[in-house]
């Protein structure tokens, strides 16, 4: 109607906060605000969706609704497709403006956003999409990427608006009450996660406080050990994935913290290492943004078609159930299933074992892990999966030997004992490889390999086979040319230099052993 201010719709996605939320800030300045979260059934039925993601998100939404109420705004939880919501908004308001953050999601969300963009264009609705990460849309090469990341992270955060006017008629768009959110049945994977991290900004802030006040001092040196990383890692990942904390506010807070400990080398080293991870967060998401088919297609053309996908492969099922017969692998899978979290090194080992040690295609294992990670972030997940399974064809091949990983990162066997109780009674050496328990001792320990715990697949020759195979395929002139194209598109300048260094290292280590256990796991 003439004279009326245009309704400003704020579409919350994976940015469930009011602080440093530029779309909300802008909308509140421009007119009456309608904050909405769309619960799209089709999205929750994709094969990478799971109950734990929804429950975490639902807790974040309850927290967000409370924060919005403090500004005088409702949170509308719409159940239905985004296109149906847009039609309903058009019917109710005639004209409106749409605000959101840019999202680098899975193929489903990518296609949905394309459809929303087309709808907005057809209906002359402006859709303002702000950046929340250091990811650049439409980027063709990585020069200057690092500089722009710094600029974005150094820019002032958007304060939450003190008050905002709610749009009339918001009740029409609110389908699901906050109390019903968590129990909503959306048809996703139902694996329970009894020890999942709680969602919501308050939980995220509490984690951050404890990290910078005391836990973070031991960050460096704890990352590879699954028990220590649980305690001394930041554990912020689901909060960054669902945006209860903005990456920029964490980066800025971190920089203030670094100034507080100038003379404590342990704090300095830890906070420096942590800063790199925040940079990698966007560096990896940029890869999926630039190459969205990384989600479902082997990145390097020379390595495609090597293995068949088989969702019923017995070795895949055993791996998914934590029943491979390799104790550290099974402990990791069972722990991940129950808690929704695992440290970087053990994630890398799980996918490396599935693809090299068990000879599986990476795609089914990737989907399984996506469903188990509460912090599932497609832009980190798929590039990491491809890298750790050797599918990028450009990174040094890292094949993690679970026996060596157990020696290095579970030195007392406590992690295995906790998650694989069948092995608790065995002395340390055999707890790591129970199949080797001498026949003479089996009766003494009341343990029969194959009866009390599965016998493993012969994973060392299998891994050697795949590793050799990948090296051969990468070596042809055509494959080398394809590698250069991929590097030009997806590697940052500094990452490329690092890669060259690590390639030289890997040549010499290859001469020593074919089953290299890389110590450079966290480089790109
Ligand atoms: C196969 C595989 C799949 C992965 N999938 C995901 C995923 O879906 N979601 C996810 O958030 N992380 C993923 N990671 C990266 C990493 O393992 C987790 O971010 C980390 O374990 C989360 O714990 P934290 O928050 O305590 O991390 P911290 O070590 O405290 O790091 C802080 C933040 O930096 C980012 N970060 C840390 N390590 C990396 C990395 N190597 N690459 C990119 N960003 C990083 C994360 O946002 C993390 O929360 C994956 C790693 C592998 C090997």
- Output the 3-class SS for 7-52: EEEEEECCCCCCCCCHHHHHHHHHCCEEEEEEECHHHHCCCCCEHH
Using alpha carbons, select from 145, 107, 182 the residue that is nearest to residue 279: 145
Answer yes or no: is the C-beta of 233 below 6 A from any ligand 1 atom: yes
Q: How far apart are CA 102 and CA 109, in angstroms?
A: 11
- Using the mean position of ligand 1's atoms as its centre, give its distance from the Cα of residue 403 in Å: 23
Please give the number of the atom of ligand 1 that sits closest to the Cα of 347: 53
Answer yes or no: is the C-beta of 287 below 6 A from any ligand 1 atom: no
Is the torsion defined by CA of 140, 141, 146, 151 positive or negative? negative
Q: Whose CA is nearest to atom 47 of ligand 1?
A: 237
pLDDT score, position 493: 58
Q: Which one is predicted more confidently, 416 or 498?
A: 416
pLDDT score, position 507: 29
Q: What is the mean pLDDT of residues 251-263?
A: 92
Please give the number of the atom of ligand 1 that sits closest to the Cα of 236: 25
Q: pTM, whole model, 2 decimals?
A: 0.94
Of 155-159, 414-418, 481-485, 506-510, the range with the lowest mean pLDDT is: 506-510
pLDDT score, position 510: 30
User: Angle, to 10 degrees, between the axis of helix 477-490 and the axis of helix 459-475?
Assistant: 90
Q: What is the mean pLDDT of residues 13-19?
A: 98
How many CA atoms lie within 13 Å of 8's alpha carbon, on the beta-carbon side? 21
Element (H, E) at 96: strand 96-101
pLDDT score, position 520: 37
Of 159-163, 275-279, 394-398, the range with the lowest mean pLDDT is: 394-398
Q: Whose CA is nearest to atom 36 of ligand 1?
A: 277
- Using the mean position of ligand 1's atoms as its centre, give its distance from the Cα of residue 344 in Å: 6
Long-range pairs, 403-407, Cβ under 8 A, ≥24:
403/328, 403/432, 403/433, 404/517, 405/328, 405/345, 405/346, 405/349, 405/517, 406/327, 406/328, 406/432, 407/432
pLDDT score, position 523: 34
Q: Which of 384, 392, 521, 522 to mutate to test the pocket of ligand 1 (most atoms within 8 A of CB)?
A: 384
Distances in whole angstroms, Cα of residue 439 to Cα of each of 207, 228, 432, 447, 449: 48, 35, 17, 10, 10
pLDDT, tens only, 272-314: 999 999 999 999 999 999 999 999 999 999 999 999 999 999 9
Scanning 322-401, the segments in alpha helix (DSSP H) are 327-339, 344-352, 363-372, 378-388
pLDDT at 509 over 80: no
Count other C-beta atoms under 10 Å from residue 498's C-beta. Answer: 16
pLDDT at 497 over 80: no
- Using the mean position of ligand 1's atoms as its centre, give its distance from the Cα of residue 384 in Å: 9
pLDDT, tens only, 25-66: 999 999 999 999 999 999 999 999 999 999 999 999 999 999
How many CA atoms lie within 13 Å of 272's alpha carbon, on the beta-carbon side? 9
| DSSP code of residue 332 | H
Answer yes or no: is the C-beta of 340 below 6 A from any ligand 1 atom: no
Q: What is the mean pLDDT of residues 394-400?
A: 90
In this structure, are residues 246 and 281 in contact, taking their beta carbons and an 8 Å threshold? no
- Using the mean position of ligand 1's atoms as its centre, give its distance from the Cα of residue 237 in Å: 6
Q: How far apart are CA 333 and CA 346, in angstroms?
A: 9
pLDDT score, position 499: 38
- Using the mean position of ligand 1's atoms as its centre, give its distance from the Cα of residue 238 in Å: 9
Using alpha carbons, select from 17, 239, 283 the residue that is nearest to residue 148: 283
- pLDDT band at residue 144, thresholds of 50, 70 and 90? confident
Answer yes or no: is the C-beta of 447 below 6 A from any ligand 1 atom: no
pLDDT score, position 189: 85
Element (H, E) at 101: strand 96-101
pLDDT score, position 262: 87
Q: What is the mean pLDDT of residues 208-220?
A: 97
Answer yes or no: is the C-beta of 391 below 6 A from any ligand 1 atom: no
In this structure, are residues 284 and 135 in contact, taking their beta carbons and an 8 Å threshold? no
pLDDT score, position 494: 55
Q: Percentage of residues in the chain with pLDDT exceeding 70?
A: 93
- pLDDT band at residue 518, thresholds of 50, 70 and 90? very low
Q: Which of 243, 319, 375, 379 to mutate to test the pocket of ligand 1 (most atoms within 8 A of CB)?
A: 375
pLDDT score, position 3: 54
- pLDDT band at residue 502, thresholds of 50, 70 and 90? very low
| DSSP code of residue 102 | -
pLDDT at 172 over 80: yes
Q: What is the mean pLDDT of residues 166-192?
A: 91
- Using the mean position of ligand 1's atoms as its centre, give its distance from the Cα of residue 255 in Å: 20
Q: How far apart are CA 174 and CA 58, in angstroms?
A: 15
Q: What is the mean pLDDT of residues 374-391?
A: 97
Count other C-beta atoms under 10 Å from residue 488's C-beta. Answer: 13
pLDDT, tens only, 450-487: 999 999 999 999 999 999 999 999 999 999 999 999 98
Q: Whose CA is nearest to atom 43 of ligand 1?
A: 281
Please give the number of the atom of ligand 1 that sits closest to the Cα of 373: 8
- Using the mean position of ligand 1's atoms as its centre, give its distance from the Cα of residue 276 in Å: 11
């Amino acid at each position: 109607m003439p004279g009326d201010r245009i309704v400003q719709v704020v579409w919350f996605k994976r940015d469930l906060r009011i602080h440093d939320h530029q779309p909300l800030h802008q909308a509140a300045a421009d007119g009456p605000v309608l904050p909405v979260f769309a619960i799209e059934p089709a999205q929750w039925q994709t094969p990478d969706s799971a109950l734990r993601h929804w429950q975490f998100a639902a807790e974040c939404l309850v927290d967000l609704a409370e924060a919005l109420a403090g500004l005088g705004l409702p949170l509308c939880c719409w159940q239905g497709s985004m296109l149906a919501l847009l039609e309903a908004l058009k019917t109710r308001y005639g004209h409106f403006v749409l605000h959101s953050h840019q999202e680098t999601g899975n193929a489903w969300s990518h296609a949905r956003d394309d459809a929303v963009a087309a709808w907005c264009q057809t209906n002359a609705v402006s859709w303002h999409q702000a950046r929340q990460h250091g990811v650049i849309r439409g980027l063709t090469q990585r020069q200057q990427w690092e500089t722009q990341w710094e600029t974005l992270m150094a820019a002032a955060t958007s304060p939450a608006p003190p008050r905002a006017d709610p749009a009339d008629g918001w009740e029409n768009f609110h389908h699901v009450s906050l109390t019903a959110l968590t129990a909503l049945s959306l048809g996703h994977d139902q694996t329970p996660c009894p020890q999942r991290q709680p969602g919501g900004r308050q939980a995220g802030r509490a984690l951050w406080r404890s990290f910078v006040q005391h836990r973070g001092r031991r960050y460096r040196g704890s990352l590879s050990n699954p028990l220590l990383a649980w305690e001394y890692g930041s554990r912020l990942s689901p909060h960054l994935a669902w945006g209860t904390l903005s990456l920029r506010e964490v980066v800025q807070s971190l920089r203030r913290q670094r100034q507080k400990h100038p003379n404590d080398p342990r704090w300095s080293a830890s906070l420096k290492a942590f800063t790199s991870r925040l940079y990698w967060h966007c560096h990896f998401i940029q890869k999926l943004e630039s190459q969205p088919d990384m989600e479902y297609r082997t990145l390097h053309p020379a390595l495609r078609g090597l293995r068949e996908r088989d969702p019923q492969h017995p070795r895949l099922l055993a791996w998914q159930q934590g029943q491979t017969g390799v104790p550290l692998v099974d402990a990791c899978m069972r722990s991940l299933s129950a808690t929704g979290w695992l440290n970087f090194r053990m994630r890398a080992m799980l996918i490396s074992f599935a693809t090299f040690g068990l000879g599986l295609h990476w795609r089914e294992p990737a989907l399984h892990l996506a469903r188990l990670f509460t912090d599932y972030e497609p832009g980190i997940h798929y590039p990491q999966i491809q890298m750790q399974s050797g599918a990028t064809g450009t990174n040094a091949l890292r094949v993690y030997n679970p026996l060596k990983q157990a020696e290095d990162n579970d030195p007392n066997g406590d992690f295995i004992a906790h998650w694989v109780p069948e092995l608790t009674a065995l002395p340390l050496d055999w707890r790591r490889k129970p199949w080797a328990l001498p026949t003479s001792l089996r009766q003494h320990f009341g343990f029969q390999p194959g009866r009390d715990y599965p016998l493993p697949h012969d994973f060392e020759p299998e891994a050697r086979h795949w590793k050799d195979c990948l090296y051969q395929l990468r070596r042809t002139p055509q494959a080398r040319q394809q590698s250069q194209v991929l590097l030009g598109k997806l590697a940052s300048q500094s990452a490329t230099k690092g890669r060259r260094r690590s390639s030289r290292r890997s040549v010499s280590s290859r001469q020593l052993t074919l089953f290299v256990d890389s110590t450079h796991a966290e480089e790109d």
